[in-house]
Structure 1
Amino acid sequence: MNKILTAICACSLLALGACKKDFLNTTPSDKVSDANFWKTEKDANAGVSAIYNDLQNNDIFGLYVYNDGLTPSAYIWDDGGTGMGPITKGNMNPFTSAVVNKFKALYNGVFRANLALEKLPGISNMSISVNHRLIAEATFLRALYYYQLTDFYGDVPLITKTLALGAPLPAKETRANLLAFIIREAGAAADSLPVSYPASLVGHATQGAALTLKAKAQLLAKQYADAATTCKTIGGLGYDLYSDYRNMFISTSAENNVEVIFDIQYLAPGLGQGSLLDKRLSTRSSFSSGWSNVYPSVNLVSNYEMKNGKMITDPSSGYDPANPYNNRDPRLDYTVVRPGSTWKNIPYANLRLDNSATFTGYLTRKYVLEVDGFGAGDSPLNFIIYRYADVLLMLAEAENEVAGPDATVYTAINRVRARKGVEMPPIPAGKSKEEMRDIIRHERMIEFAMEGTYYSDIRRWGIATQLMNGLVVTNIAGQQIDKINFVDAFNLWPIPQVEIDLNNNLVQNPNYVK
């Protein structure tokens, strides 16, 4: 689809004098160009599919779980060439490859969306309803890419049209204005998107996806009352919590279930359209040939409650240091491969677990298929970007900030905890607003562990430096394996230096130097 983006028909300068007018105007029939594309419904679908394709980029959502390695929940030693390792060790700068590549990848998605939004209205050779839907999908995707941009980089240029070669490049727009744009665009997209699709179109953006993006932008903008209202609207669209938390992340049979609001659809093995997460997260052993790039931390495992809802540090919890994994929140075993558990029916003790396999003593279970028969690095398992549990906990957070821990807050968080197969006890009544805020934050850490969202959460809450700077990373034997350096500047990634060099209107984020 990159061919769509490039004009490819031209005469060489040497032959220009010999070119006849009709030759210069001839459109190539064997290549894609602006002259012969964006003409039909098939072209329109292909063009919008190209925008979706960027979601799979390793620097956008393809390896999104790596973000947990930038939190107390996980640890990255070998980042598999992504450039994330230096960030977690406090070495982030405007030249860091992850910083440069994410910025470029997200703006590539913005460019494709802008191109589609310019071309789609002019296609008359297609169904009007399909045309309007595709415009709404492109609008949603552009807003999603901008949300990622402002989440990671703060103030960035807002570009809403394709720019001609050599055209002036814009300066930064404020995060406040970017969020207002995202909220407006996501709301407009929601108005034109369906609640659901037939099986042949599953994976396309829905009304629920656009509204979830809108709610996230409202939360980041601290528009808590509006965010709560948006979450309640999503609650009326028919979503629910899936009854099998574990299989939701490790089995293709659970894909597109009632909880999934928006995900990346990966194809069957052998087609070159699979997920890399299986390869990147599974154990480095003769059983899987994985890379073990991201390891759940001792801190994360320690934060799973006992089955009675008490923390393991509570003397009355019943926690037994000799049997540390007994009677714990079931989500621990649904998320983490730990001593005493099995992986692909292989006992933990039989996995090769020296430092080349896991530095912390734990392995990630989520997004690692526990079946054989496909090539590692070509997993057909979809990656979930938005799910209904997120909406419920956003509702709890927003409502708590507006009204304190009222019935809406308790109902939302307790629904997540009461999911079939998890069935954790409800939060006791009588909590203060501050106590409930901490409870909701802890619940998000556990519910979305190893999904990549917690990094955005702790920066949004303004507690990332508090949690991360000076954090001592240990293994299950209590041995220190690293100490994290996280300064306030890291709450925003730097603008890549290459972009500043190209655009004199760009100003570097605070506390980063060339």
Structure 2
Amino acid sequence: MNKILTAIYACSLLTLGACKKDFLVTTPSDKVSGNNFWQTDKDANSGVNAVYNDLQNNDIFGLYVYNDGLTPSAYIWDDGGTGFGPIAKGNMNPFTTAPANKFKALYNGIYRANLALEKLPGVKMDPAINHRLIAEVSFLRALFYYQLTDFFGDVPLITKIIPLNGALPGKETRANLLAFIIKEASAAADSLPKSYSAAMTGHATQGAALTLKAKAQLLAKQYPEAAATCQTISGLGYDLYTDYRNMFISTSAENNVEVIFDIQYLAPGLGQGSLLDKRLSTRSSFSSGWSNVYASVNLVKNYEMKNGKAITDPASGYDAANPYNGRDPRLDYTVVRPGATWKGIPYEKLRLDNFATFTGYLTRKYVLEVDGFGAGDSPLNFIIFRYADVLLMLAEAENEAAGPDGTVYAAINKVRARKGVDMPPIPAGKSKDEMRDIIRHERMIEFAMEGTYYSDIRRWGIATQLMNGLIVTNIAGQQIDKINFVDAFNLWPIPQAEIDLNSNLVQNPNYVK
């Protein structure tokens, strides 16, 4: 595949050393080129797979969990060369690596999608399959644009291949970008199936397109519309998986009834594995992990007692001498803490020094708890959309649109009542403001160490309140950092290198060179 892509996207770099002019315009018969690709159904599928391949990029979804390290839920000290460290500490600027890499990676994906959408209509193949592939690519392009506007706000909207030396556009507003995403996702949903055969697992479905649509509607504050979209998704047959823990640490739970869209990683040794096991697991003698992102003391304190009460409630039964007893089971399904085990190894026997964890906690999610594969080559899929997200989006949208009615309670309580979690329902009689806080807390806990909470707190407009001046401590209560977060950081800076290339680009507010 890499050879094919290299040929497709670098076909203009033909060697000019031949002496005959007609040689320069001869289509090679033994290689893939822009002239002989996009001819057959095999070409079409390979080209579309190339767009899917961008999802694995570290700067798109490959290391998406790092986003939690930009929230009160986790801490990043050593970012493993990703550029997240300066963002986590409040030192972001137009030259910071992570924004530059993300911006470039997403537009590379959009370029591939635009190329596919221009070429697919001319491919000689089954019209029904061709129509579906166009819908899949349209969904992926919309997903890339959602990531762009989520992180950067206003960005250029490019829907066609721009010729070499062609004029580059300026920014489009976030409102117009979201309208584009909603329109594209809606059209894709109309052309995509509800499900595929096992051989097609991982391709975008109607549910994936509608979930993206709901997220865009929620970001646009179109609450009644978002609630309606989530209700439609609820009728597609998804449900909550009955084993929350294994959903994130075992390949046996992959592609379950809760998964709406994920990244399909391949078996070890094929060069298509996930890096998360290497990036998140302990740097002990039992593993070659890097432990770049650590669950925070703040996150652990936010897990309720099994009776649904906060640990700060005198009636909760919380025992400071046994702080992990009787807690929400999702704590142990997400975090490796004192008294727990990891890969059967007691916490106390893991090498827990300043190169293993600064907070005293390790991340359990997305670290495959079996042996037999090399570090950084995990076959464990990464879930982008799952049904619990749809339920909590439904609760949020309905609460904002109509207040805490029965739909809101039913959605959030279904998440809490998942088998194996079995948390008590939210008591009746909550006000709209009270329910808003409850939903936000539930999202923090349900999606801890999955990377989504960073987008949530910026969407809610509370990131500065939560992050600026945040004192990061370890489990002994010792301060290890203090976070600087100003309002400007709610949007990432447009990379200075991109502004230098495109005079029509304007920097986001309050960033300077």
Task: Name the TM-score, length of structure 2 as normaliser.
Answer: 0.98
Spell out structure 1 runs of 4+ moving beyond 4 A: 8-11
Alignment partner, residue 162 of structure 1: 161
Q: 1:107 offset after TM fit, Å?
A: 0.2
Distance 1:361 1:20, change over 3 A: closer
Mapped pair 1:72 → 2:76: no
Alignment partner, residue 424 of structure 1: 423
The correspondence of residues 122-133 of structure 1 with structure 2, limited to 5 A, is: 122-124=122-124, 126-133=125-132
Contact 1:157/1:172, CA 8 A, preserved across alignment: yes
* Aligned residue among 2, 7, 14 for 1:3: 7
- Return the alpha-carbon distance in structure 2 between the equivalents of residues 325 and 249 of structure 1: 21
Mapped pair 1:19 → 2:23: no
- Return the alpha-carbon distance in structure 1 between the equivalents of residues 139 and 105 of structure 2: 17
Q: 1:9 offset after TM fit, Å?
A: 6.7
Deviations 1:213-264 (A, max 9, x none): 0000000000000000000000000000000000000000000000000000
- Return the alpha-carbon distance in structure 2 between the equivalents of residues 2 and 192 of structure 1: 30
- Return the alpha-carbon distance in structure 1 between the equivalents of residues 94 and 12 of structure 2: 33
Alignment partner, residue 380 of structure 1: 379
Amino acid at match of 1:430: G
Mapped pair 1:406 → 2:405: yes
- Return the alpha-carbon distance in structure 1 between the equivalents of residues 430 and 453 of structure 2: 23
Contact 1:474/1:480, CA 8 A, preserved across alignment: yes
Alignment partner, residue 318 of structure 1: 317
Alignment partner, residue 40 of structure 1: 40
Contact 1:369/1:381, CA 8 A, preserved across alignment: yes
Amino acid at match of 1:49: N
Contact 1:9/1:27, CA 8 A, preserved across alignment: no
Deviations 1:416-451 (A, max 9, x none): 000000000000000000000000000000000000
- Return the alpha-carbon distance in structure 1 between the equivalents of residues 400 and 323 of structure 2: 35
Deviations 1:386-428 (A, max 9, x none): 0000000000000000110000000000000000000000000
Alignment partner, residue 87 of structure 2: 87
- Return the alpha-carbon distance in structure 2 between the equivalents of residues 172 and 373 of structure 1: 48
- Return the alpha-carbon distance in structure 2 between the equivalents of residues 102 and 312 of structure 1: 38
- Return the alpha-carbon distance in structure 1 between the equivalents of residues 143 and 261 of structure 2: 11
Distance 1:111 1:315, change over 3 A: same
Deviations 1:458-508 (A, max 9, x none): 000000000000000000000000000000000000000000000010000
- Return the alpha-carbon distance in structure 2 between the equivalents of residues 233 and 267 of structure 1: 32
Mapped pair 1:171 → 2:175: no
Q: 1:354 offset after TM fit, Å?
A: 1.0
Mapped pair 1:104 → 2:104: yes
- Return the alpha-carbon distance in structure 1 between the equivalents of residues 130 and 214 of structure 2: 26
Alignment partner, residue 60 of structure 1: 60
Alignment partner, residue 119 of structure 1: 119
Give secondary structure in 2 for the equivalent of 1:482: strand
Alignment partner, residue 136 of structure 2: 137
- Return the alpha-carbon distance in structure 1 between the equivalents of residues 290 and 63 of structure 2: 13
Alignment partner, residue 465 of structure 1: 464
Amino acid at match of 1:138: V
Q: 1:8 offset after TM fit, Å?
A: 4.3
- Return the alpha-carbon distance in structure 2 between the equivalents of residues 45 and 509 of structure 1: 38
Q: 1:2 offset after TM fit, Å?
A: 3.5
Q: 1:31 offset after TM fit, Å?
A: 2.2
Identity %: 84
Deviations 1:334-372 (A, max 9, x none): 000000000000000000111111000000000001101
- Return the alpha-carbon distance in structure 2 between the equivalents of residues 501 and 343 of structure 1: 48
Distance 1:9 1:276, change over 3 A: closer
- Return the alpha-carbon distance in structure 2 between the equivalents of residues 239 and 394 of structure 1: 15
- Return the alpha-carbon distance in structure 2 between the equivalents of residues 4 and 234 of structure 1: 37
Q: CA RMSD in A?
A: 0.9
Between the two proteins, the alignment pairs up a number of residues equal to: 509
Gapped runs of 5+ residues in structure 1? none
Alignment partner, residue 507 of structure 2: 508
The correspondence of residues 98-247 of structure 1 with structure 2, limited to 5 A, is: 98-124=98-124, 126-247=125-246
Q: 1:7 offset after TM fit, Å?
A: 1.8
Alignment partner, residue 273 of structure 1: 272
- Return the alpha-carbon distance in structure 2 between the equivalents of residues 433 and 224 of structure 1: 14
Deviations 1:151-171 (A, max 9, x none): 000000000001000000000
Q: 1:186 offset after TM fit, Å?
A: 0.3
Amino acid at match of 1:110: I
- Return the alpha-carbon distance in structure 1 between the equivalents of residues 7 and 453 of structure 2: 36
Contact 1:54/1:60, CA 8 A, preserved across alignment: yes
Alignment partner, residue 281 of structure 2: 282
- Return the alpha-carbon distance in structure 2 between the equivalents of residues 371 and 24 of structure 1: 54
Q: 1:24 offset after TM fit, Å?
A: 3.7
Task: Name the TM-score, length of structure 1 as normaliser.
Answer: 0.98
Amino acid at match of 2:314: P
Q: 1:3 offset after TM fit, Å?
A: 2.6
Give secondary structure in 1 for the equivalent of 2:154: coil
- Return the alpha-carbon distance in structure 2 between the equivalents of residues 89 and 455 of structure 1: 14
Q: 1:280 offset after TM fit, Å?
A: 0.3
Amino acid at match of 2:20: C
Q: 1:19 offset after TM fit, Å?
A: 1.3
Contact 1:228/1:395, CA 8 A, preserved across alignment: yes
Q: 1:30 offset after TM fit, Å?
A: 2.6
Give secondary structure in 2 for the equivalent of 1:48: helix
Q: 1:29 offset after TM fit, Å?
A: 2.2
- Return the alpha-carbon distance in structure 2 between the equivalents of residues 10 and 58 of structure 1: 30
- Return the alpha-carbon distance in structure 2 between the equivalents of residues 163 and 467 of structure 1: 41
- Return the alpha-carbon distance in structure 2 between the equivalents of residues 100 and 87 of structure 1: 12
Give secondary structure in 2 for the equivalent of 1:386: strand
Contact 1:147/1:179, CA 8 A, preserved across alignment: yes
Give secondary structure in 2 for the equivalent of 1:75: strand
Give secondary structure in 2 for the equivalent of 1:261: strand
The correspondence of residues 340-419 of structure 1 with structure 2, limited to 5 A, is: 340-419=339-418
Give secondary structure in 1 for the equivalent of 2:148: helix
